[in-house]
Amino acid sequence: MALTVPYLFIESFQGSEDYYAGAIVSSQLRLIRFMAFHINLFLPALYVALHGFHPNIIPQKLLLTIQVTREGLPLPVIVEAAGMIIIWEILREAGVRMPRPIGEALSIVGALIIGQVAVNAGLVSPLMIIVVSLTGIVSLLTPPLMDAATVLRIPILIFASAFGLYGVIWCYFFMIIHLTSIRSFGMPYMSPAMPFNLSGMKDYIVRLFWWLMKTRPRYIGRKELQRAEDIRMPSPKK
């Protein structure tokens, strides 16, 4: 095991196994992780914003389904979402602290039981259970950002309940501004996207083929930029 510095934001979506797979497969996996992070962070807030402020954006049949599932529920949608997110995080933390076999069973079974009981008791809607469960599942795809997403999810939810989609967009811009101001061992945390570095984009969300990455990223260092002596494009024998 080794620690490498500087640690950049994009490394949270990259894995060592990406370099043992082809460029297309590894690029697909990184895109899935990138989308999963955004779903983890913004899905509950988007649900609250669309339900409370922008129901006209939701297709009519889906809107009718949502209204039917929420009929007779005593809690506002923001309280419902925040409560289920907090319960999910409590179960996840309890699972981490307990022995591994018991902890995994507790997290899964506990979430299923509590969700089913809450729906049967008329406290939350089934769609909210789906939203929170999906949020918790996709959080497992980006473990380095799990704690950060946990901290940010509730404030984004509050902004969404107060300002709708505008609040979600503001939170996204504030987050980008903050990330661009961070430096890791002197390097911009959002490199190579901000500031933009073309050579570094070869191995960003999308990874190019090895024969197109003959040099190492310039934004990390200026020494030994040559990655290998001879990386050729695969071709049939002559």
100 found inside a domain: yes
pLDDT > 90? residue 162: yes
Mean pLDDT for the stretch of residues 174-190: 91
| pLDDT above 80 (res 225) | no
Residue 2 scores a pLDDT above 90:
no
The total number of structural domains in the chain stands at 1
pLDDT value at residue 104:
64
Torsions phi, psi for 147 (to 5 deg): -65, -40
1 lies in some domain: no
Of 220, 38, 216, whose CA–CA distance to 139 is shortest?
A: 38
Token output for 227: 């990655």
Instruction: Flag whether 196 is in a domain.
Output: no
Three-state secondary structure call for residue 226: strand
Q: What is the DSSP letter of 18?
A: G
What pLDDT, on the 0 to 100 scale, is given for residue 16? 83
What percent of the chain lies above the pLDDT cut of 70? Answer: 86
Residue 175 has pLDDT above 90, yes or no: yes
pLDDT tens, position by position, 93-108:
887 787 766 766 677 6
Structural domain contains residue 218: no
Q: What is the pLDDT of residue 50?
A: 92
Looking at residue 117, its pLDDT comes to 84
Q: Is the dihedral of CA 149, 151, 157, 163 positive or negative?
A: negative
Model confidence at 238, in pLDDT bands (50, 70, 90)?
Answer: low
pLDDT at 29: 93
Give pLDDT, residue 220: 67
Q: Is residue 42 part of a domain?
A: yes
Of 22 and 29, more confident: 29
Q: What is the pLDDT of residue 115?
A: 79
Q: Do the domain assignments include residue 122?
A: yes
- Residue 109 within any structural domain of the chain: yes
Asked if residue 113 belongs to a domain, the reply is: yes
Specify the pTM.
Answer: 0.86
Q: What percent of the chain has pLDDT over 90?
A: 34
Range of the domain at 61: 9-188
How far, in Å, CA of 14 to CA of 219, rounded?
Answer: 17
Mean pLDDT of the chain, nearest integer: 85
Output the pLDDT for position 179: 94
Confidence of residue 171 (pLDDT cuts 50, 70, 90): very high
CA-based end-to-end distance of the chain: 43
